[in-house]
Amino acid sequence: MSERCAVIGIGQTVAKSKREDVSIAGLVREAAIMALDDAGLTFADIDAVVVGKAPDMFEGVMMPELYLAGALGAVGKPMLRVHTAGSVGGSTAIVAAHLVASGIHDRVLTVAFEKQSDSDAMWALSVPQPFSSPLLAGAGGYFAPIIRAYMHRSGAPRDIGMRVAVKDRRHALLNPYAHLHLTDISMKMVEDSIMLWDPLHYLEACPSSDGAAAMIIGSERAAAQAASETGRRPAWIHGMAMRSEPTMFAGRDQVNPLAGRDCAADLYRQAGISDPRADFDMAEVYVPFSWYEPMWLENLGFCPEGDGWKLTGAGATSLIDGGDIPWNCSGGVLSSNPIGASGMLRFLETALQIRGLAGEHQVPDARRALGHAYGGGSQFFAMWVVGVDRP
Amino acid sequence: LANPHAQVAYDRSAEELLGEEYVVAPLRRHTLPPVTDGCAAVVLAAGDRAFELCARPAFITGIDHRLEAHAIGARDLTRSPSTELAGQKAGVANGSVDVAELHAPFAHQELILARALGLGAGVDISPSGGALAANPLMSAGLIRIGEAARAIWSGKADRAVAHATSGPCLQQNLVCVLEGV
């Protein structure tokens, strides 16, 4: 990166099953205006707009960014659309930040969304398409055998996934924007829920949500101006990285994908991270199915390979239990899943923590945080590090 | 006819073409793009590295893209204000233009775009045949940049403009200025 850049405005809608009061345009505009208000700006101050969402087939609106031009104040401006499956919200934020880091723009609005109630994501992920391997029964059906391989490989006890499901739902009770507020969540409640894709119970899977997320990425100059006008400090971007690999190839490690490890290594080099568990104060990591927490703990280098479940089991990732490295204090994807926005929500939540604005789910004195998103068949990765200190 | 990558190539008189039936008035077959399978790739290199890889690199000296409203009723479709703005930001008028590769999948769009970019009579417009000769939708814009670069590599042009469009009736437009040194 050449120019310093920071998150200077944040907006998110309350995630819900059905937002029947707004169209997609209304939904994204709601988040965008919240982010502009937070930064003390209006649409007129924005140089460019970067939009992300998951496959167009989810809502059946092809190239929705064109239709959203007016709602996002993009007329007369550059607008880019990003699409990297489930990781898209993270990739979108990175593309927006690159437009500032490269010195092209001062203030970029980035927005990601999904309106799952307009759509049938299960169908869109299950319908056979030519020349591609079918996902069969949606994303859960694809990931369950990989989780079983992880359990076999690591010797993790069967209750680890349920622990994550409970932990993230307890975190969600502290986040007013979360979709699921399961006040009586317990291990028994998860265990008693229907088995969807062995070993995943219903309550070990993410919900289906309508929601949008928005951020304003600003240059050093824009960050200084926003801070002085709003009194809210910026979340400086210390590094960002993306990596991809094919869905299938001989010898591919689907449990611990190389692209994820390479992405983290590049990111940590940029941000000067040598021991992620010690160097980060918190992390927001894309965990749509419970078992992906221990798997990503290993993939992201928070512990040696095979030990991820031990951190989860010991409560190390729980904010409420006082763990040393809280993961997904917002409730994570397990508590809100507007698919295209889910990656951006991870990035946004790290910025919220660094700015000290996370409210009840704030990690005390969070100074450096990891945002992570993955998509496709664990093949697209997007990550960033944000911090209180100007890099 | 001079482009081996073209899908549609012929030498026919204007009178002959105007004798065609309308597909939808006022559009005849010759004003419409073909349906094309195709793919384009462009290799970018930074700074002096370009001289190691290419005898006469085409340097991108300006690039910009702009968007208009989606609703066509909200727009004056005889003009392309987003192309005008992108052309200004990319610096099209900062020098003479030898070649312009315009992404105009419908014949009349070439007239609107040439006017929006201020291209005079001396500019060789779409010598590749443009999108009327081959229109692999999502790569038809990228290959305009490739064809403009090719005109610089060959020495046919010292300064070239490439354009790409997306969305209904020229909603989104990109303008790229390339120069040889």
Alpha helices in B97-139 (DSSP H): 107-116, 130-133
Asked if residues B172 and B68 have their Cβ atoms less than 8 Å apart, the reply is: yes
Helices A24-39 and A220-230: angle between axes, nearest 10 degrees: 80
Give the gap in angstroms from C-alpha B58 to the nearest C-alpha of chain A: 21
Query: Across the interface, do A67 and B68 touch by the CB < 8 Å criterion?
Result: no
Percentage of chain A surpassing pLDDT 90?
90
Q: Which residues of A touch B65 (CB under 8 A)?
A: 78-79
Give the gap in angstroms from C-alpha A1 to the nearest C-alpha of chain B: 15
Q: Which amino acid is at A250?
A: A
Average pLDDT, chain A: 95
pLDDT tens-place string over residues A58-95: 888 999 999 999 999 999 999 999 999 899 999 999 99
Query: Averaged over B117-123, what is the pLDDT?
Result: 96
Sign of the alpha-carbon torsion through A52, A57, A61, A66: positive
Query: Across the interface, do A76 and B171 touch by the CB < 8 Å criterion?
Result: no
Asked if residues A160 and A291 have their Cβ atoms less than 8 Å apart, the reply is: yes
Give the gap in angstroms from C-alpha B82 to the nearest C-alpha of chain A: 6
Give me the interface pTM, i.e. the ipTM: 0.91
Indicate the pairing of strand B159-166 with strand B99-101: parallel
Q: Which amino acid is at A124?
A: A
Q: Is some CB atom of chain A closer than 8 A to the CB atom of B121?
A: no
pLDDT for A135 beyond 60 = no
φ/ψ of A300, rounded to 5, equals: -90, 5
Asked if residues A107 and A46 have their Cβ atoms less than 8 Å apart, the reply is: yes
Of A67, A69, A78, nearest to B65 by CB-CB distance is A78
pLDDT tens-place string over residues B48-105: 999 999 999 999 999 999 999 999 999 999 999 999 999 999 999 999 999 999 999 9
pLDDT tens-place string over residues A262-312: 999 999 999 999 999 999 999 999 999 999 999 999 999 999 999 999 999
pLDDT on residue A91? 98
pLDDT for A122 beyond 80 = no
Alpha helices in chain A (DSSP H): 24-39, 64-67, 88-101, 121-126, 138-154, 160-172, 187-192, 220-230, 258-271, 276-279, 292-299, 308-313, 339-354
Give the gap in angstroms from C-alpha A96 to the nearest C-alpha of chain B: 15
pLDDT on residue A2? 80
Q: Which residues of A touch B171 (CB under 8 A)?
A: 66, 69
pTM: 0.95
pLDDT for A136 beyond 70 = no
pLDDT for A27 beyond 60 = yes
CA distance A391 to B9: 57
pLDDT for A379 beyond 80 = yes
Q: Is some CB atom of chain A closer than 8 A to the CB atom of B81?
A: yes
- Which positions ≥6 away from A175 have C-beta within 8 Å? A329, A330, A331, A335, A359, A360, A361
Of B64, B65, B69, nearest to A75 by CB-CB distance is B69
